[in-house]
Structure 1
């Protein structure tokens, strides 16, 4: 399939419901098709990875085409400059997270973006830094203590953020570090309680929302990561 055929396929699967959802995220209507992420993922499995095709889809400016493009990029043939360009064109939290979880985290230079973007004044680059911390904490098994400590230092130092989309990513990052194991949990809680004592209202908000999840965790046999007691109770309640 070429780029025009793919756009036609996306338009054939569009719905007003999904289009309205995308527009609510701040995507201009003219760049919205209205297709679910599940549909995009199914389509990605039918199309061979191709950077040439992915770039063509990205440049259409359609939100859904960009989501699909991320899944079609060949990691081995994309540069850090390419990723900088892509992230500079991101205007929504879902595309930001989608890029982090499906593309950037798979590169060998992921941490370079964390340390660079955490200082950025661009909303979605800054969110991406914390999303990458959260994703690394969730999925990278061999993170050293030094890397975890560096992540927590960045969370502590750069958590004075007003934009909701960034604040939520900071909470997410702190929670995911705190759920790795009991050692990480202790470190994450120390950071959370330090932020809670801050005079900065954003940091206090972040701390309170992180502590709700990592303030009381347990080890569950079938999970490699810790589980919040509140989450466990909810799951048990559903089983009753």
Structure 2
């Protein structure tokens, strides 16, 4: 049985309807046209495990599929493969994702692959591609830029998270506001003084959602003080 047939076998009309609404696939919404078959994340990961050895050539059609779960499963396969792959294979995986990045076009897809492949691959390499994406007009490239730095944060490297957060400060989309605020909160988990220094400089400029996400774990009095600056 092909991976596509395995995916289709588990489709659920009721879950499909729910997911289509949750992931904003309607006309004019951020994921317009994305098709969900209704698999659970657990089911998708189970299929990824079963088909973990598929080649990049076989995964390529999944990355261009209109079906969300096919793209997700392809990304999960690559995320699981990446850490143990030799350096030459890691480069092939990264370049494959760059080539097919149009298929990384919803927040769950970005948040799956950016910290697991983009971040680790770029950690000790030139990171200019992330700054290019941060300046892109494409929503998902911008989210890839900031979410890739999640890996850097886990290594206590805060510099590029803060630089990219600054570049995205005035972005208009709430999915960018939420992602940047989330990464700033992650900075604070590791060094609260660095986060507060950034907030003290930029809180008055930040979109309210971004700020709220960034200060979510602060004591109530501090949250109110920062929000009062808006």
* TM value normalised by structure 2: 0.75
Name the counterpart of 2:59: 54
Tell me which moved more, 12-21 or 35-44: 12-21
Separation in 2 of the partners of 1:65 and 1:92? 13
Deviation at 1:68, TM superposition (A): 0.8
Residue 190 of structure 1 pairs with residue 194 of structure 2: no
Name the counterpart of 2:171: 161
Deviation at 1:81, TM superposition (A): 4.2
Match of 1:82 among 96, 100, 109: 96
Tell me: CA distance 1:196–1:29, structure 2 relative to 1, closer, same or farther (3 Å): closer
Separation in 1 of the partners of 2:112 and 2:100? 12
Match of 2:146 among 130, 150, 168: 130
Unpaired segments ≥5 residues, structure 2:
26-30, 83-88, 220-230
Name the counterpart of 1:10: 7
Name the counterpart of 2:223: none
Maintained 8 Å contact 2:158/2:187? yes
Separation in 2 of the partners of 1:169 and 1:117? 14
Residue 69 of structure 1 pairs with residue 79 of structure 2: no
The count of aligned residue pairs is 200
The aligned runs of 1:111-130 (5 Å cut-off) are 111-130=127-146
After TM superposition, the runs of 4+ consecutive aligned structure 1 residues lying more than 3 A away are 27-31, 108-113
* TM value normalised by structure 1: 0.72
The aligned runs of 1:163-178 (5 Å cut-off) are 163-178=173-188
Maintained 8 Å contact 1:33/1:64? yes
Maintained 8 Å contact 1:16/1:34? yes
Deviation at 1:110, TM superposition (A): 8.0
Separation in 1 of the partners of 2:136 and 2:104? 14
Unpaired segments ≥5 residues, structure 1:
217-240
Q: Alignment partner of 2:215: what SS?
A: helix
Residue by residue over 1:51-83, the C-alpha shift from the partner in whole angstroms, topping out at 9 and shown as x without a partner, is 122113223332101111112235425255432
Match of 1:31 among 23, 35, 55: 35
**In angstroms, what is the RMSD of aligned CA positions?**
2.5
The aligned runs of 1:76-115 (5 Å cut-off) are 76=89, 78=92, 80-108=94-122, 109=125, 111-115=127-131
Maintained 8 Å contact 2:134/2:167? no
